[in-house]
Amino acid sequence: MGILLMAMTIGGVLVAAVLLAVSIATRKTWLRNFVFGGVAVWFVFYFAMLIGFSLKSEERDLAQNEPKEFCGFYLDCHMHTAVTDVQRTKTIGNKTADGEFYIVKVKVFSDAKQATLGLSAVDAHVVDADAQTYARDTQAEKLLPSQPEFEQRISPTETFEKEIVFDLPVEIKNPRLDMNDGRSLVETFLIDDEDSVLHKRSYFKLETQVETAGAPAL
């Protein structure tokens, strides 16, 4: 519904611009007032829906292999990610964690029917129970086997997995992975989109299946 209403809004603004130009050219005051009134009513309705859906939204925790969708600039919501594995280790190659390394394997896939698509400007960080955030340890990631970029474009039949690393405190409580796809201006005002204003987020739970003693460098 959010994509439909956004498309209707964009189309309506274009029609309103044409009618406003006509009203000015023909000096029809009633048409100009009608355009301004109609636009004002629509935007009040739209922003009421935007804020209402955001306030009604609930925070979610996604389990391993549970997908999360991303809506692109062109309002397509075909790209998905899912966490397929989490391992913890004190060392990766010759690098030792200040706390403990979390190696998170993320699967990227598309449910588009034909188009070749990709994520853009992916931001991935961990949030703990106290709302403190932790960035990726890109230096530790360089010690892992060669990884694809999140922005790699794929066809509907393709998938890929990428491992990312976080150096998290040993005593951390409820670490969860938060991912977003650039947070475009369009998504900020897309009704019921996770990246829209005030909307609650969906997080990947970082539950480890096996605790490893170390991860070798290649």
Q: Would you list the domain boundaries of the chain?
A: 2-56, 60-211
Q: How confident is the model at residue 217 (pLDDT cuts 50, 70, 90)?
A: very low
Q: What is the dihedral of CA 40, 46, 47, 50, to 10 degrees?
A: 180
Better-predicted residue by pLDDT, 29 or 208: 29
Amino acid 179: pLDDT: 94
Q: Architecture of domain 60-211 in CATH?
A: Sandwich (2.60)
Percent pLDDT > 70 in the chain is 92
Taking residues 24-46, report their average pLDDT: 96
What's the chain's average pLDDT?
A: 90
- Residue 215 confidence class, pLDDT cut points 50, 70, 90: low
Predicted confidence (pLDDT) per residue in 107-145, tens digit: 999 988 888 888 888 999 999 999 999 999 999 999 999
Residues 47-95 have pLDDT tens digits of 999 999 999 999 999 999 999 988 765 556 788 999 999 999 999 999 9
Which pLDDT score, from 0 to 100, does residue 16 have? 96
Global confidence as pTM: 0.81
Dist CA 144 CA 141 (whole Å): 5
Q: What average pLDDT score do residues 15-26 get?
A: 96
Rg (CA), the chain: 22
Reported in sequence order, the residue ranges of 55-158 that DSSP labels E, i.e. its strands, are 60-62, 68-70, 79-92, 95-110, 122-127, 133-134
